Amino acid sequence: MAGLVKRGAYYSVRFVHPVGGRKILALGTKSKDRAELANRRIGKLVAAIQTGADLDEELTRWIAKLPEKLRSKMESVGLLKPSEESQAIALDAFLDAYVGRREDVKDPTKVNWRHTFRNLKAFFGSDRMIASITKADAKDFLIYLKTKAGIAKPLASDTIRKRISNAKQFFGDSVDRGLIPANPFHGMESSTKGNRERDFFVTQDMAYKVLDACPDREWRLLFALSRFGGLRCPSEHYKLELADVDWSRERFKVYSPKTEHHDGKAYRWVPLFPELRPYLEECWEAAEPGQVHFVTRSRDATQNLRTQLMKIIRRAGLEPWPKLFQNLRSTRQTELEEVFPSHVVCAWIGNSQKVAAKHYLQVTDDHFMKAARAQCATSMAPQMVANDKNEDVKVAQNRMVSHDTTMAVGDAGFEPVTSAV
């Protein structure tokens, strides 16, 4: 009925379920004695399921004392049924309880979760029992997100994947608590990929036009911290205190609510870039006695600054770009990586090189212009390989340097001078 197998250091039981086919149950133990005992009991349980016989007293006591994790696994492979208590839990009640337990997460995260709550309740109904939601239901929910969940327009692909990820997280918690046997969202694609078509490089000329259109010094600082400091807006802006600026060492400390739960990632140091410094100094000099933070207009990190920034951008004579604040941060990282090593820039921006490559670094018009100007270098390469004489090589090198007088060689080398950072 059941057989013991070893996978690495841990034991599992392989069995044939009377109505479910071949199954394997990971016991999560390295002890052969415990594994053999569990194997015998699972064999008796499978036989009882097959014949419809009542469970004996020993087996009943063993099942009653099962650890929550093992019981959940046995439910997921059809050896046990979810308890009546779990079958009676409605979606609305479960989601409310989940968010109530999660005191470890920030308010913006809970705001994001509530968008998924709204979609789940709209599709399944608030009174739907969570134990009745199947994998087929989860796939139907995905179709709903793609076709009907958007109010004014269809949801973006990354938004859909994020909401599937949230749903997977919620239902995964119910599995861990033994409320349902398996996660109906397990295996569904939920990793955000980023829509690179919405990348936009905000040039410094554009940035200064927006700064000139800002209504006051705090808005100028908010924008400058995003465009020239690469800060996450608004959470990192609102955390910035007057005491966080080390003027003598020309750097300032940025506290990051998003990464503080990672070891060593509660804060980072960012240089006092020349483009940014005047806006910090302006707010520093205007600070009232006893003032703590640079930005005083609001302490609510969930406040939506997007609408007002769009008005400022239009006042500057520009069209708002996609992902208003994200593209400011992305632009700064792309700009800095032209000058400094990637690991240094990531330390200042507060992300990893993997994340930067996936979501931040952009290919700009300047990159194309530099490549076009350097075309002579690639076109000379075959000639330089073909001619093995030193004199021919020197002639080719001289042509590469003198081909375009605008590429004068000095301290900056062949590339156009990068703006001060």
Give the per-residue pLDDT at 1: 60
C-alpha distances in angstroms, 364 versus 6, 264, 404?
54, 33, 22
Mean pLDDT of 267-272: 95
Model confidence pLDDT, tens digit, residues 28-86:
898 999 999 989 999 888 888 888 777 777 887 788 778 878 888 888 888 887 655 55
Nearest CA among 296, 291, 253 for reference residue 272: 253
Sheet with 267-271, edge to edge strand ranges: 245-246, 251-255, 267-271
Q: How confident is the model at residue 384 (pLDDT cuts 50, 70, 90)?
A: very low
Homologous superfamily (CATH) of 201-363 is Intergrase catalytic core (1.10.443.10)
Give the pairing type, strands 21-26 and 10-17: antiparallel
SS3 370: helix
Cis bond before residue 234 (omega within 30° of 0): yes
Which of 71, 81, 38, 45 lies closest to 60, judged by CA? 45
The runs of H, that is alpha helices, within 243-297 are 277-285
CATH topology of 87-193 equal to that of 201-363?
no
SS3 per residue for 89-121: CEHHHHHHHHHHHCCCCCHHHHHHHHHHHHHHH
Side-chain-side CA neighbours of 367 within 13 Å: the count stands at 9
User: How far apart (Å, rounded) are the C-alpha atoms in residues 311 and 270?
Assistant: 29
Position 194 scores a pLDDT of 62
Give me the mean pLDDT over the 318-335 stretch. 94
Residues 419 and 336: their CA atoms lie apart, in Å, by 10
pLDDT for res 405: 38
Domain locations in the chain as residue ranges:
2-81, 87-193, 201-363, 373-421
Contacts of 358 (CB under 8 A, 6+ apart): 193, 194
Query: Distance between CA 319 and CA 141 in Å, rounded?
Result: 36
Under 8 Å between Cβ of 197 and 158: no
Report the percentage of the chain scoring pLDDT > 90. Answer: 42
CATH architecture, domain 87-193? Orthogonal Bundle (1.10)
> Which pLDDT belongs to residue 58?
82
